[in-house]
């Protein structure tokens, strides 16, 4: 298919050839600056997620970071609250649950299942679910439903344990 372009559009494209590097070219260094820390005896890692699935990468990256901490030996938990609670729904899919309407639709679901299977804990605020009409029975298997007042107390619990706390927030 040929696209008609104006002379200025053609000139703009031809000014700088792109892509300027062939696929597979290295454009970033690979030096890791900090040590690859592993958990010491009894250390915890706690993540709070207030972001909606698929609205940005914030929620998914938080789950990936928590999974990495779990694999480093940290006792690890993720707490979804507010609109973040929607990340915990097993009913995602179109035209039926489990079918991906677009590539990556189930990334968060699959990663949460992996996280739980590897020993991580996932908490989900019931109030966050209720704000969006989501049902508790639609949670991914293994997700622990929590009372709205548990958000603050969970944070206190993990802070008192000396946990590393990763808090993500998205409006």
pLDDT in tens, 30-83: 888 888 999 999 999 999 999 887 777 899 999 999 999 999 999 999 999 999
The pLDDT value recorded for residue 34 is: 85
The pLDDT tens digits of the residues spanning 64-77 come to 999 999 999 999 99
Distance CA 119, CA 74 (A): 10
Spell out the residues 6+ positions from residue 134 whose beta carbon is closer than 8 angstroms to its own: 85, 86, 89
Q: Which two tokens stand for residue 132?
A: 């969006």
Spell out the residues 6+ positions from residue 143 whose beta carbon is closer than 8 angstroms to its own: 88, 112, 116, 122, 123, 124
The pLDDT tens digits of the residues spanning 82-128 come to 999 999 999 998 999 999 999 989 999 999 999 999 999 999 999 99
Give the H or E element holding residue 9.
helix 7-15
The pLDDT tens digits of the residues spanning 132-145 come to 999 999 999 999 99
Distance CA 38, CA 5 (A): 55
**Within a 13 Å sphere around the CA of 144, how many CA atoms are in the beta-carbon half?**
13
Distance CA 165, CA 149 (A): 18
The pLDDT value recorded for residue 1 is: 64
pLDDT band at 22 (very low <50, low <70, confident <90, very high): confident
- pTM of the predicted model as reported, rounded to 2 decimal places: 0.83
The pLDDT value recorded for residue 85 is: 95
Using an 8 Å Cβ cutoff, are 120 and 77 in contact? yes
Kindly list the distances between the CA atom of residue 123 and the CA atoms of 36, 116, 140, in Å, as whole numbers in the listed order: 27, 11, 11
Per the prediction, the chain carries an average pLDDT of 92
Distance CA 119, CA 45 (A): 13
- Residue 171 predicted with pLDDT over 80: no
Collapse the DSSP code of 6 into the 3-class scheme (helix H, G, I; strand E, B; otherwise coil) and give the result: coil
Whether residue 114 is preceded by a cis peptide bond, meaning omega within 30 degrees of 0, is no
Distance CA 125, CA 88 (A): 10
């Amino acid at each position: 298919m040929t696209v008609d372009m104006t002379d200025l559009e053609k000139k703009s494209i031809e000014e700088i050839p792109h892509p300027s590097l062939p696929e597979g070219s290295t454009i970033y260094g690979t030096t890791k600056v900090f040590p690859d820390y592993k958990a010491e005896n009894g250390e915890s890692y706690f993540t709070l997620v207030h972001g909606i699935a698929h609205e940005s990468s914030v929620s998914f990256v938080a789950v990936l970071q928590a999974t990495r901490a779990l694999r480093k030996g940290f006792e690890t938990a993720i707490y979804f609250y507010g609109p973040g609670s929607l990340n915990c729904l097993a009913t995602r899919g179109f035209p039926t649950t489990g079918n991906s309407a677009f590539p990556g639709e189930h990334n968060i679901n699959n990663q949460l299942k992996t996280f739980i299977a590897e020993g991580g804990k996932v908490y989900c605020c019931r109030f966050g679910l209720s704000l969006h009409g989501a049902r508790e029975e639609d949670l991914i298997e293994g997700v622990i439903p929590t009372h709205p007042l548990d958000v603050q107390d969970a944070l206190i619990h993990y802070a008192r344990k000396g946990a590393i706390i990763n808090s993500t927030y998205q409006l």
